[in-house]
Amino acid sequence: MSLKIVFMGTPEFSIPALKILKQSKHKIVCVYTQPPKKQSRGQKIKKTAVHVFSENEGIKVKTNKLSDEKEYEDFTKLNPDLVVVIAYGQIIPDIYLKKPNLIFLNVHASLLPKWRGAAPIERAILNKDKETGISIMKIEKKLDTGPFIKQVKVNINEETTSGELIKKLSVIGAEALKDSIELILSGKAIFKKQNEKEASYAKKIDKIETRINWKDKAENIIAKINAFNPKPGAWFLLKNERVKILKAKEILQKGDPGIILDNKLTVGCSVNAIQILKLQKEGKRDMDVVEFLAGNNLEKGTELN
């Protein structure tokens, strides 16, 4: 059986699932995504990754707010059999969710009920979790509370970055979505309720969180660097200029927090130290520590803020 599918998504994370659906026997009747935005530099208008992909594939694209009354009328005329939602960026109005015989299926980047919300990947790394994964769930009125049909686990280690996890989970999520749709079509789908007692929330990343506090433990600073790599980046100030740390490792060494301890750019923390391996000045390209030190005179004893 071929389904008529409406797809709602915005970032690059959504693309693998959109590709799989495009290549399947099902028909994508429309894609909803966030409207184009002005870039901070040059004020150029930039369409979302999903918008660009959909236009290139000849798929109808809409960027209107779902809360508009006419938008619901247009949505109803599409007469979809299934709606797939992946990192869309808009709350689905209740009137859509109450449409009879229509499932809204969401691909969420955590093992629900853990890390419901906007930043599940970053929060898992910041929390130093040993695993995360993908949940394919039915959307309900409350945020990420719906029953799930499928989950796939993925390990996290002390070197895993958000960028790496996003790429891995986007591909795994696409395959899990494909399997879930087949379960629904075959009548074998079993939706499992979430355990509310185990729920945790992945709130949106606040800019203030991205600054490195050298009085923290080295292991926590490493987790922050990995969680915010590549975006928005964990940073410190050097001569009133932001410098992002892209890669570092924990060192069993004592020293005052924020003080450079040697000529390898090892920096003291409250417990142990970190050796910076890769970094990037604001507006500049990234570079390894040797190249960075060649262009910046940072002697032992220098304090980083």
Dihedral angle, C-alpha 244, 249, 255, 259, nearest 10 °: -20
Q: 221 φ, ψ to 5°? A: -70, -40
| β partners of residue 275 | 249, 266
For the chain, the domains span: 4-202, 207-295
The pLDDT score that the predictor gives to residue 40 is 65
The pLDDT score that the predictor gives to residue 42 is 61
Q: Which regions of the chain are under pLDDT 70? A: 40-43
Alpha-carbon separation of residue 246 from 37, 45, 167, 284 (angstroms): 27, 28, 17, 13
Q: Please state, for a pLDDT cut of 90, what percent of the chain lies above it.
A: 93
CB 92 within 8 Å of CB 139 = yes
Superfamily assignment of 207-295 in CATH?
Formyl transferase, C-terminal domain (3.10.25.10)
Task: State pLDDT tens for residues 189-232.
Answer: 999 999 999 999 999 999 999 999 999 999 999 999 999 999 99
Distance, in Å, from the CA atom of 134 to the CA atom of 210, rounded to the nearest integer, reads 25
Query: pTM to 2 decimals?
Result: 0.94
What's the CATH number of domain 4-202, 3.40.50.720, 3.30.70.890, 3.40.50.170, 3.30.2130.30? 3.40.50.170
Task: State pLDDT tens for residues 33-76.
Answer: 999 987 766 668 899 999 999 999 999 999 999 999 899 999 99
The answer, yes or no, to whether the previous bond of 230 is cis (omega within 30 of 0) is yes
Domain 207-295 in the same topology as domain 4-202: no
Distance, in Å, from the CA atom of 111 to the CA atom of 41, rounded to the nearest integer, reads 37
Q: Which parts of 53-102 are beta strand (E)?
A: 61-62, 82-86
Distance, in Å, from the CA atom of 268 to the CA atom of 152, rounded to the nearest integer, reads 38
The answer, yes or no, to whether the previous bond of 80 is cis (omega within 30 of 0) is no
